[in-house]
Structure 1
């Protein structure tokens, strides 16, 4: 039977690099279709105006970005997003880390407590938002409790001061269980012999935490910081369900602002410019965190 392939073609097929590209091709095609192409089209759309109608869209260069920079509402949204992100990320790391350290020890009902703390992570954010809106409405359970202890009712969701803290509490509650499980997994990788050696050297609980636990959780902390920051930056459901960006634009976050401009005002080019800014900021933050991790490791 004659040979179908020559020696050169057989060598080409045996090449490891070619084989790797063949196996990666399906995933790369899907990645290009559903991630890379939408990002590229978003970037293109940010330089245009118009709608997806018979009139079409028109190239306008950097006008949408200039509009962003000169729009006071956009800067208010930027401030809101920074405030929400910082106030959510820090407690969403500190509280789960403390819970993970406690639950990593031998405690009664430890398994049940882990499940209870993880429950918020599997509850729909829309359902959680509706629940929190009921709790914090003017005649809700929180104000009823305040009235019992003699504190005047607070207009939580209609106050420019208190509406954002309610969203922050929901964000922390939602992220708590996921980060706790991540930290628990990280704690399992730290050899117990390190703590035993530290105890023999007379180290107290704080010294063991600072010199053993935190360095041992370095990669876990980086992962938790990045995922929590992405979770907060893309927050939309709680704003949509609970406040609608109000009162007086005080809880309008970046993703909700993009949604309003695109699907309420039908200003797709301007919304794409805002989305591009958010995407760029996210990439920069992730890059800086990864660089910091490399320098410390």
Structure 2
């Protein structure tokens, strides 16, 4: 009887302590949860509800239209062009934004001259305002700008970079890669620091070549870092707005209009908030699906 009483008392004390710990955890988490609910969860719910309405925030108000805004999206050829532009921009921005910083990180992780200065130099684009960078790139790629002046030295006719439907998007992609390069490089450098040097020493003793060490040691060791960099780069790319607003305004002929800028135009130029909310909901869905696929793919591989 005494043993059973002692055991039950011990269990009750554990349950009591667990309840206190849980309560304390909720108390400490509540400020963050309240902010998360107010500034993230509530706006998402409100956006979703708004996508089923039409009207404006005036005396006329808004009223329910059901799925009509989504039907308009499906039947609007401009929307599908924007979707195509967004996927084109995302694909050709994300891939180089992974490969180039990874190569730089591997190089700058070695003992080379001026390593600290080079790391700082490559990171500088990350702290530059994207609006300021966009204005700078707009000047560089204007018709009488430095790029065309350089090409003119080789007898190449000046190119209207931002006024041409073929060249305008590559300029935006170059700017986006340049902006993301430093941040990704620093993250890869941090990931490389976690790989034990003994693995490389053992591989050298076994006669492994540098590319074999990279493929069998570096990449597997950077798996969690790669997942983080891929997800953050996709999110950064899909929410691109400043470079389009500053450099091209979505033109020429809608060739650089991305989904975020399209939402801005519909909401604050056309004041069609319900339709803009529907487009924003589609953007949110695309982002969630891409991030989920990336996380699932890398998790299954591991």
Instruction: Report the TM-score range of the alignment, normalised by the length of the smaller protein.
Output: over 0.9
Q: What corresponds to 2:275 in structure 1?
A: 270
CA deviations over 1:129-184 (Å, ceiling 9, x no partner): 00000000000010000001221111100000000000000000000000000000
CA deviation after TM superposition for structure 1 residue 12, in Å: 8.4
Which runs of structure 2 are paired with 1:128-147 in the superposition (5 Å)?
A: 128-147=133-152
Q: What corresponds to 2:201 in structure 1?
A: 196
CA deviations over 1:98-128 (Å, ceiling 9, x no partner): 0000000001110000000000000000000
Give the SS at the match of 1:15: helix
Match of 2:240 among 235, 241, 249: 235
CA deviation after TM superposition for structure 1 residue 15, in Å: 2.3
Q: What corresponds to 1:249 in structure 2?
A: 254
Distance 1:103 1:21 in 2: 43
Distance 1:274 1:197 in 2: 53
* 1:105 counterpart = 2:110: yes
Give the SS at the match of 1:293: helix
CA deviations over 1:175-199 (Å, ceiling 9, x no partner): 0000000000000000000011111
Distance 1:46 1:261 in 2: 12
Distance 2:16 2:185 in 1: 51
Match of 1:187 among 161, 176, 192: 192
Q: What corresponds to 1:88 in structure 2?
A: 93
The number of aligned residues is 290
* 1:153 counterpart = 2:158: yes
Distance 2:153 2:183 in 1: 34
Where in structure 2 are there 5+ consecutive unaligned residues? 1-11
Q: What corresponds to 1:28 in structure 2?
A: 33
TM-score by length of 2: 0.94
Q: What corresponds to 2:169 in structure 1?
A: 164
Give the SS at the match of 2:158: coil
CA deviation after TM superposition for structure 1 residue 14, in Å: 5.2
CA RMSD of aligned residues (A): 1.5
Q: Would you say the 8 A contact 1:13–1:19 is kept in 2? A: no
* 1:60 counterpart = 2:60: no
Distance 2:84 2:293 in 1: 21
